[in-house]
Chains A and B, each alone.
Chain A
Amino acid sequence: GAVVSQHPSRVICKSGTSVKIECRSLDFQATTMFWYRQFPKQSLMLMATSNEGSKATYEQGVEKDKFLINHASLTLSTLTVTSAHPEDSSFYICSALQWGADNSPLHFGNGTRLTVT
């Protein structure tokens, strides 16, 4: 089945630094990838839709200058949290879209737990 690799799985960084999270589709090409954020005991909140070769579409309330998304190839999207602050600590999940028969069209990475100290 389709596999999405997300890296790193955990990262701890100091306030003010930037962190890059990678999302790769390993065995398929993904024109569209999604980035979600999940607070403890809460649902997945869509942050942005990443389309290969074009600018990402951000959801309302998500700061595009803070959460930089790059989808330069059909197998890689990156999310960079710039000038991270403790309130950015969260669980970030990427997913790649691929419609097929009788399965989930969204293939999820295993998530990245970001802790900003």
Chain B
Amino acid sequence: AQKVTQAQTEISVVEKEDVTLDCVYETRDTTYYLFWYKQPPSGELVFLIRRNSFDEQNEISGRYSWNFQKSTSSFNFTITASQVVDSAVYFCALSLLNGGQFYFGTGTSLTVIP
């Protein structure tokens, strides 16, 4: 069975601080995809990144960076120099290659205080 755990329910940081959102996943499949999505207060889901299980290279996109470590089954997300607009709920998700079904974590609500 697949499972995604986001242990941090809510995080508050002051603007310009760095913040890391944790994601731990469980699967017995060797081929899978990991994702991060952002859900602002308006409700729509915004795709941030997709990673496949064979690519452990870390990725940086502007102020966002992702650390994928298969050894610890983690796919953590760091926002550098946070901004108020980063305030949202962030979901980590896992998908297997064949089904398309996504397994979402419970989400981390991030509040950036000006």
Contact = CB atoms under 8 A, between A and B. Distances in A.
A13 B62 CA distance: 44
B64 interface: no
Nearest to A106: B102
A69 to B, nearest CB: 15
Interface string A79-117: 000000000000101000101001111101011010000
B100 A97 contact: yes
A113 B91 contact: no
A103 B35 CA distance: 10
Nearest to B100: A97
B104 A44 contact: yes
A104 B104 contact: no
Interface residues of B, number: 20
B72 interface: no
Interface stretch (B14-22, B24-32, B44-52, B80-88): B44-52
B50 A110 contact: no
A97 B102 CA distance: 10
Contacts, number: 45
A43 B104 contact: yes
B77 to A, nearest CB: 15
Contacts of A93: 43, 45
A113 B41 CA distance: 13
A43 B45 CA distance: 12
Contacts of A18: none
Closest 3 CB pairs of A and B: A104-B47, A108-B45, A110-B44
27 contacts: A32-B100, A34-B100, A34-B102, A41-B89, A41-B109, A42-B106, A42-B107, A43-B91, A43-B104, A44-B91, A46-B102, A93-B43, A93-B45, A99-B100, A103-B47, A103-B50, A104-B37, A104-B47, A105-B100, A106-B95, A106-B100, A108-B45, A110-B42, A110-B43, A111-B43, A111-B44, A113-B43
